[in-house]
Amino acid sequence: MTAYDRLLSRFSRIAALGEAASMLHWDASAVMPLGGGAARGEQLATLAGLSHEMLTDRRVEDDLAEATAEGEWHEANLALMRRTHLRATALPVELVEATARANSACEKVWREAKARSDFSAVRPFLEEVLRLQRETAQALAVRTGLSPYDALMDSFQRGVTAAEVEPVFEAYAAWLVEALPRAEAIQARHGDPLPLRGPFPTAAQRELCRSLSLRLGLEEAHSRLDESLHPFCGGTPTDVRITTFYSEVDPAKAILGVLHETGHALYERGLPASFARQPVGEAAGMAAHESQSLIVEMQACRSDPFLRFLSGEMRAAFGDDPSLEAGNLARNWRRVERGFIRVDADEMTYPAHVILRFRLERAMIEGRLEAADLPGAWSEGLRGLLGITPPDDARGCLQDIHWHDGAFGYFPSYTLGAMAAAQLMKAARQAEPELDAAMERGDLSPLLSWLRREVHGRASLLGFQDLLRAATGKPLDTSDFTAHLSARYLAE
């Protein structure tokens, strides 16, 4: 075997361990009993340690020094192997395992703390997670030459830094100051929508959600739909696990959640099988991933054409009620409202929630904010962005799983993904003139085919900006996002 062949084999085995960890994470959120938390933390720590040891083995360094690769994909794969190894060797295995244990322990306590709106219960666990994240960030910064926070951001979306994100976010916050009151005034003139009249039985919602996911292109033989406190997409590219949360009063929580997670799942299913379990065969990062969930949920499935199709599906599932008419669904599901909960936010105010988290997590990693001061900083920050103050910590700093599971540097990906989704949808409409007509029939195949060519099939061959250049002819252009929002919310 050549040095590169040995690397291919090793990275494939490391990826398989990662797939096992992904399944254990899914199980912990979807079906594991509460008493399994401590053992699960140890299992995940062991897998993280094994992966780290395999990646930092001295033979990997020797093979990377010797290896050569031919062809665009293999050259990119070797470059990504070197990047992965550089980051891994910056971290001692003891830190990797301690981080996995701390994240798992904190995440379990967070579930109870959120239910009771009791930040004090999770605070010491979050402090330990933050301590380890700061240590990780500093170690990565020394090795990569990035700032500590940028080093964490690079874990989720390579090549994007806080210096690039901050002016984009500040410009959006300034735009929102003027646009949000205008949107609210226009909405008020149109009157309130009819509330969706239920109840909406969970069994009927579950059947509808699964049928929608399959209709969008997710194969039954390669996917599952389950329930969890926080909707997510996990598993592996050939065994995708999506979850949602059902409310018999509000079917949007489940339906829109499944449409969003199906976008993630379709991306995983579209990755090139010929480079499975190799760095170049993975998704291009979390901003790229969010662009795929949001182009499905926000750009396609909340559009007027698709809502006309979905209205018929909902009336068949729940009864022919006027509140389920397409125009009323649009007024409900495209309603601008200053709210406390990120996952329930409309697409105009959603970036404000992300900007708040970006500012706070950056301050925490840089040592300018301690975990103990997070509730107050959260309330002050949300008041500055949206003019509202959360009434309790469950609707404030306890609402998201991310920090309690050690995911610092992730949040910018959400809004970068939303902006990229608008840009990609504009290009897809230009390339596929029949796209809207197909969506009115509930057919996303023209969009999916375009995404398979332009995004999914390229995997990690290109970085985020180069991927957008290849698909749309330009790097991230935030004006496409504000133009989309203006057309949807500011038109009289």
Rg (CA), the chain: 22
User: Any idea of the CA torsion for 58, 59, 65, 66, to the nearest 10 degrees?
Assistant: 160
DSSP state of 234: E
* CA atoms of 232 and 30, how far apart (whole Å): 10
Please give the backbone phi and psi of residue 413, each rounded to the nearest 5 degrees, phi first.
Answer: -60, -30
Question: Considering only CA atoms, which of 405, 428, 424 is closest in space to residue 416?
Answer: 424
Q: Which residues contact 407 (CB under 8 A, 6 or more apart)?
A: 156, 401
Q: Which residues contact 479 (CB under 8 A, 6 or more apart)?
A: none
Which position among 19, 97, 107, 261 bears the catalytic label?
Answer: 261
Let me know if 261 is a catalytic residue: yes
Question: Considering only CA atoms, which of 46, 162, 178, 62 is closest in space to residue 104?
Answer: 46
CB 233 within 8 A of CB 297: no
DSSP string, 125-137: HHHHHHHHHHHHH
Active site residues: 261
